[in-house]
Amino acid sequence: MSQTVLMITPGFPGEMPLFTRGLSLQGAQVLGVANGPAQDLPEMARRHLSDYLQVPDLFSDTASAILQIRRWLGSRTLDRVCCLWEPGVELAAHLREAFDVPGQRFAQAVKFRNKDLMKQALAEGGVRVPHHAVASSAAEVWAAAEVVGYPLIIKPIAGAGSMDTFRCDDATEVAAAIRQLGHIETVDVEEFIDGEEFTYDTICAGGEIKYFHVGHYRPRPLIARTNEWISPQTLSYRHVDNPWVTDGIALGEQVIRVLGYDTGFTHMEWYRKSDGEVVFGEIGARPPGARTVDLMNFASDIDLFAGWAEAELHGTFSPVVERKYNCACITKRAHGQGRIQRIEGLDRIKSRLGDALCAIDLLPVGTPRRDWKSTLLSDGYVTLRHPDWDTCKALADFVGTDLHLYAS
């Protein structure tokens, strides 16, 4: 029997039309809701939606949004409510409660959004998390810094990724961070974990991990987001039985158990310190961004957009996962400001990568540069794959050093 699914923001961010397509291909009737007009939806999203409702105050007035959606649905009933975008996780939980459909409720969703509640729950469950404190004023930030000690990190309590995140090694840097964070009401002041940063991403159904992925950031996002000249890399790890990552996998499995996560995608970040200790960072009830699901697909020649939809709708996961390749996504940032004027090195990249090249998506000449601080994909990206880990990294470094975009 066909299921009716309410998909929040079916066309944004960039991967959402692929998840919308996945639900449709699994036989669902997909109803979309977002705060923008239907004509702004990407063609793929429009093609796989059965109906669409624009709710301008979708994220600002939950009660109003529920009333508008209820009137729009009429006699139709919902079987699932899906949202794979971080800002909509709590909204989706409210909608599930309002329409009495299965899935994550608000009391659990808030632990995936509020970093303080998240760390409290995990620490009580025996998970090693950074020492931290919450602050809602400059005075509280200073008090938290005294407790946590230096170096420390200050970041939004309900943020996603590394935006508005600051490392502070002393009081001068704390004062600078406070000035820049004036627009954010509540922050998390936490111990800075000095180590390599990884991801552990899962698709779960009925509380069981049906699929998992290990990613690696080069360099760690905090460094990449504060140095414009860097071409950040996200790598997908092929050999997940390597002791370099197995402790992190065990840590992620523990997090799933402690938080009681049931069904859907998760994205986790964890650290390995130089002394070998693994420390958990945070978890989101969503997939990783910045085209990382593409890397998972390229690594095994599968379609995890459809695989997630199968787990969401039917509680099963049928794709055969054969980890054939390590993969990398290299983000490029143009030199200069203004519009892209030229791209250099692309022919060399294509020649050296050959069959290892999976995708190229760079801003065309004449296009205005993006704000590199507010978008993970900056001015474009290149994805590649190779069965050998060191070769994959070397090719990724070649893209980083030899491909250039220039703007003026």
Is the domain of 176 the same as that of 288?
no
Are 224 and 163 within 8 A, CB to CB? Answer: no
Q: Which of 298, 319, 340 is the last residue of a domain?
A: 319
Is the domain of 274 the same as that of 199?
yes
Report how far residue 10's alpha carbon sits from residue 20's, in angstroms, rounded to the nearest whole number.
6
122 domain residue, yes or no: no
- Kindly report the CATH number assigned to the domain that includes residue 177: 3.30.1490.20
Are 219 and 273 within 8 A, CB to CB? Answer: no
Report how far residue 97's alpha carbon sits from residue 90's, in angstroms, rounded to the nearest whole number.
11
Going by their DSSP bridges, the two strands 51-54 and 29-34 should be labelled as parallel
Report how far residue 163's alpha carbon sits from residue 181's, in angstroms, rounded to the nearest whole number.
11
Is the domain of 276 the same as that of 249?
yes
The residue with tokens 């705060």 is 35
The whole-number pLDDT of residue 226 equals: 86
DSSP 219: S
The whole-number pLDDT of residue 162 equals: 54
Q: Which residues of the chain have pLDDT under 50?
A: none
The whole-number pLDDT of residue 163 equals: 64
Is the domain of 229 the same as that of 312?
yes
The whole-number pLDDT of residue 2 equals: 87
pTM given for the model: 0.90
Which residues, 6 or more positions from 191, have their beta carbon under 8 angstroms from its beta carbon? 130, 131, 132, 148, 149, 152, 153
118 domain residue, yes or no: no
Is the domain of 314 the same as that of 203?
yes
Q: Each residue of 275-298: pLDDT tens digit?
A: 999 999 999 999 998 899 999 999
| Residue 352: C-alpha distances to residues 394, 395, 403 (Å) | 11, 8, 12
Number of domains the chain contains: 4
Q: Is the peptide bond before 221 cis (omega within 30 degrees of 0)?
A: no
The side-by-side arrangement of strands in the sheet containing 208-218 is 278-284, 264-273, 195-205, 208-218, 233-236, 326-331, 380-386, 357-362
117 domain residue, yes or no: no
| Residue 238: C-alpha distances to residues 293, 313, 326 (Å) | 14, 28, 5
Report how far residue 319's alpha carbon sits from residue 5's, in angstroms, rounded to the nearest whole number.
22
Q: Which of 166, 191, 216 is the last residue of a domain?
A: 191
Is the domain of 283 the same as that of 176?
no
| Residue 223: C-alpha distances to residues 168, 201, 232, 323 (Å) | 13, 22, 9, 29
Is the domain of 138 the same as that of 43?
no
Is the domain of 28 the same as that of 143?
no
The whole-number pLDDT of residue 1 equals: 72
387 domain residue, yes or no: yes
The whole-number pLDDT of residue 26 equals: 95
Are 351 and 358 within 8 A, CB to CB? Answer: no
Report how far residue 248's alpha carbon sits from residue 216's, in angstroms, rounded to the nearest whole number.
11
Query: Residue 342 forms beta bridges with which residues?
Result: 406
241 domain residue, yes or no: yes
Is the domain of 34 the same as that of 105?
yes
The whole-number pLDDT of residue 87 equals: 92
- Kindly report the CATH number assigned to the domain that includes residue 209: 3.30.470.20
Is the domain of 184 the same as that of 257?
no
Neighbours of 331 (CB within 10 A): 23
Q: DSSP characters for 132-144?
A: EEEESSHHHHHHH
273 domain residue, yes or no: yes
Amino acid at 74: G
- Kindly report the CATH number assigned to the domain that includes residue 30: 3.40.50.20
Over the range 229-245, which residues count as b (16 or more CB within 10 Å of their CB) and which as e? ebbbbbbbbbeeeeeeb
37 domain residue, yes or no: yes
Is the domain of 216 the same as that of 314?
yes
Is the domain of 364 the same as that of 402?
yes
Are 232 and 239 within 8 A, CB to CB? Answer: no
Angle between helices 106-113 and 115-124 in degrees, nearest 10: 100
Q: Which of 319, 348, 377 is the last residue of a domain?
A: 319
Domain of 339 in residue numbering reads as 325-408
388 domain residue, yes or no: yes
